[in-house]
């Protein structure tokens, strides 16, 4: 028989689910605001693509799709939209002429860095009462959670 999902041993996981649900809803709303600040026509989900491209550099669409756990069609659509807005550009992959690498354009990087700076300031204000070690621990734990999802 399955474990009682309301048993005391599961309360930590129920609390985690509850807090992650609230966090994710707020994060989506915040990403929407950041996306609109970056470009009025930018979809909220595309902001995360820009975060990844800035951090990891040029990548193939298939690598991005795998990283985010989405299908190739979804990734292609999002990248096409970013390309039309002038935020990313595709160029042939020197390692495989049949493939393309996607990277930020100069305009895309400039806009992204401006918006990311504003977002970092928001985090600093919201977490002003936190110890820097707590912030680092939260980042470490979120990284561990994200790594486990890959």
> CA-to-CA distance for 122 and 126, rounded, in angstroms?
6
Residues 6+ apart with CB under 8 A from 38: 47, 50, 87, 111, 112, 115
Instruction: Tell me the residue range of the domain where 113 lies.
Output: 4-148
Find tokens 């041993």 and name the residue. Answer: 9
Domain count along the chain: 1
Between residues 125 and 26, which one has the greater pLDDT?
125
pLDDT at 1: 44
* Among the listed residues 7, 6, 86, 5, the one whose alpha carbon sits nearest the alpha carbon of residue 42: 86
Q: What is the mean pLDDT of residues 86-105?
A: 93
Q: Enter the pTM of the model.
A: 0.76
Q: Retrieve residue 97's tokens.
A: 């002429």
Find tokens 């919201």 and name the residue. Answer: 126
Q: Over the stretch 63-85, which tens digit does the pLDDT of each residue have?
A: 999 999 999 999 999 999 999 99
* Among the listed residues 62, 59, 42, 64, the one whose alpha carbon sits nearest the alpha carbon of residue 115: 42
Q: Over the stretch 25-37, which tens digit does the pLDDT of each residue have?
A: 888 888 888 888 8
pLDDT at 129: 96
Tell me, what CATH number does 116's domain have? 1.10.10.10
CB contact at 8 A, 78 and 52: no
What integer best gives the mean pLDDT of the chain? 89
**Phi and psi, residue 98, nearest 5°:** -80, -20
């Amino acid at each position: 028989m399955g474990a009682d999902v309301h048993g005391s041993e599961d309360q930590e996981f129920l609390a985690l689910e509850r807090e992650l649900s609230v966090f994710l809803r707020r994060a989506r709303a915040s990403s929407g605001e950041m996306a609109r600040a970056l470009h009025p026509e930018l979809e909220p989900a595309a902001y995360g693509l820009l975060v990844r491209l800035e951090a990891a550099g040029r990548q193939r669409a298939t690598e991005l799709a795998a990283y985010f756990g989405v299908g190739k069609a979804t990734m292609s659509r999002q990248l096409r939209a970013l390309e039309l807005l002038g935020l990313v550009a595709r160029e042939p992959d020197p390692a495989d002429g049949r493939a393309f690498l996607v990277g930020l354009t100069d305009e895309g990087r400039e806009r992204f860095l401006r918006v990311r700076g504003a977002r970092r300031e928001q985090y600093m204000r919201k977490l002003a009462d936190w110890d820097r070690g707590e912030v680092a621990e939260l980042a470490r734990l979120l990284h561990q959670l994200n790594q486990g999802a890959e």
